[in-house]
Amino acid sequence: MKSQTSSAELSDLLAGLKPRLQEGRWVFATFDNRAELPLKEAVAMIREAEGVSLILPLSFALKNNLSATPVFSWITLEVHSALDSVGLTAAFSRVLAGERISCNVVAGHHHDHIFVPEEDGRNALEALRKLEKTGPLENI
């Protein structure tokens, strides 16, 4: 059964967005599927055909001679969103695209996490706060 999110539900999600810029600087690193993974350091992991991708603190990557570019800021949307809700990702990604800010989204069980280029972290946060105040956009 396909989930249906009404515009009222999307409005509620956006009104409670509560974007929060996390402390730290973050990088994506890929490890061979047979590698010993530094899971205690990782904030997220996904297995791909090319290996296991981890999101790690920049400081850990530098200490361990891992690729350290590009560097990202991490924004958590503190609204408790359902994994089957419709439109939330479209709404915030459209706002960020309008500001010419790329975003990499990781959905947790309770919250969405957005990784944006480090230099765009504050601007992304402000754009998301504006979305929280104005509500859903037309034609999402």
| Residue 42's pLDDT band (cuts 50, 70, 90) | very high
Give yes or no: residues 84 and 137 share one domain. Answer: yes
Domain final residue pick, 70, 99, 126: 70
Tell me which of 37-41, 93-97, 119-123, 134-138 is least confident. 134-138
pLDDT for res 115: 98
| Residues spanned by the domain of 115 | 1-24+72-140
| Residue 8's pLDDT band (cuts 50, 70, 90) | low
pLDDT tens digits for range 109-136: 889 999 999 999 999 999 999 998 887 6
**Pick from 100, 137, 132, 98: nearest CA to 116:** 100
Q: How many CA atoms lie within 13 A of 93 on its CB side?
A: 15
Give yes or no: residues 76 and 40 share one domain. Answer: no
CA distance 123 to 100: 10
pLDDT for res 1: 42
What rounded mean pLDDT belongs to the chain? 88
**Pick from 126, 15, 114, 14: nearest CA to 73:** 114
CA distance 136 to 46: 30
Give yes or no: residues 52 and 64 share one domain. Answer: yes
Domain final residue pick, 70, 100, 130: 70
Q: Global pTM?
A: 0.87
Give yes or no: residues 109 and 98 share one domain. Answer: yes
Please give the average per-residue pLDDT across 10-20, as a whole number. Answer: 85
Total domain count for the chain?
2
Give yes or no: residues 20 and 83 share one domain. Answer: yes
CATH number of the domain bearing residue 108 = 3.30.2130.10
Give yes or no: residues 31 and 79 share one domain. Answer: no
